[in-house]
Amino acid sequence: MTPDADPSVVQPLDAGAYEEWDDASLVGRAASGDDSAFAVLVRRYQGPLFRHALRLTPDRRLAEDIVQEAFLTAWRRLPTLQTPEAFRGWLYQITTRRSIDAFRARRPEQPVDTTAPELDGLVAAEPGPEARAEQRAQLGDLAAALQELPVAQRAAWAMREVDGLSYEEVAVALGVPVSTVRGRIARARRELVERMGSWQTTRD
């Protein structure tokens, strides 16, 4: 991009350069109506958000619908976002909330998970040994163990340890205080470590 080329016609930003932009700049741009900037954000987050929704409601089509709706909601409400840095946590918040709602809609009768009052009724049913073995074969040890965690712990742990969100962002995503997030992730960690007793890893 030569800054002093023909000054009579200023060219728009080379599309490739956008892909390198930081989230906050893209968000700032999109908040003022730049849909090309928003498209970069979509491409950047569609995979992680999709996988996050899939972890919480294992239906592919539903997960896609949820994430699509999340992006659309984000686009509509972007002008109201106070700080561009809050975008990622906010995206995960919209996605998590809808995933939980979808899950709740499909499984109305469940025992209460006392560790997560805001996620009443969403304890994953403990799969039997055969199902577990099949899951492990398909997903690998950690992924299978994750699916056995209560949803509240699974969501918190995965957002932090797989998606790399900060504790504050996870707190925003789940609508709970940071202290609750720390407790939940610690519990998830203890559960996963306990289940590792029977894991084979390539290191062994």
Partner 1 sequence: MTGPTHAELRAATDDLRDELAAATEAVPGVVRLEPTLRNALRRLQAGTTVLANGRAARSAADGIELHRRGEVVDVHVDVATAADRAAGATAREVRQALARVLVAHALEPGSLTVAVLSVER
Partner 2 sequence: MADDARLSCGRSIDDVWSHLDGPPDEHERTCPYCLEARARLLRLSDAAIDLRSTEAADPALQPDPGFTASVMGLVRAEVRRGQAIPLDADEVPGLTISEQAVVGLVWAAADSVPGIRARRCRVRPFTDDDGDGDGDGGEDGWQPPDEHELRSGTLVDVDLALAVEPGTSIVEATATLRRRVAEQVARETGLGVRRVDLTVEDVL
Q: What is the binding site for partner 1 (CB under 8 A)?
A: 9-12
Per-residue binding string, partner 2, 141-160, x by CB under 8 A, is xxx-----------------
With CB cut-offs between 5 and 8 Å by kind, which of partner 2, partner 1, none does residue 189 bind?
partner 2
Provide the minimum distance between the beta carbon of 194 and partner 2 in the complex, in angstroms, as a whole number. Answer: 6
Provide the minimum distance between the beta carbon of 7 and partner 1 in the complex, in angstroms, as a whole number. Answer: 13
Determine the Cα–Cα distance for residues 9 and 132; give it in Å rounded to an integer. 63
From candidates 88, 98, 154, 187, binder to partner 2 by CB under 8 A: 187
Determine the Cα–Cα distance for residues 139 and 147; give it in Å rounded to an integer. 10
With CB cut-offs between 5 and 8 Å by kind, which of partner 2, partner 1, none does residue 15 bind?
none
Question: Which helix (H) or strand (E) element contains residue 161?
Answer: helix 151-161
Q: Is 54 in the site for partner 2 (CB under 8 A)?
A: yes
| Residues constituting the chain | 204
* Cβ–Cβ under 8 Å, residues 146 and 154: yes
CA distances from 72 to 42, 171, 180 (A): 10, 22, 29
The CA-based angle 180-148-139, given to 5 degrees, is 120
Determine the Cα–Cα distance for residues 69 and 130; give it in Å rounded to an integer. 36
Give the residues lining the site for partner 2 (CB under 8 A). 1, 3, 7-8, 10-13, 21-22, 24-25, 27-29, 31-35, 38-39, 42-43, 46-48, 50-51, 54, 63-64, 67-68, 71-72, 75-76, 84, 140-143, 161-164, 186-187, 189-194, 196, 199, 201, 203
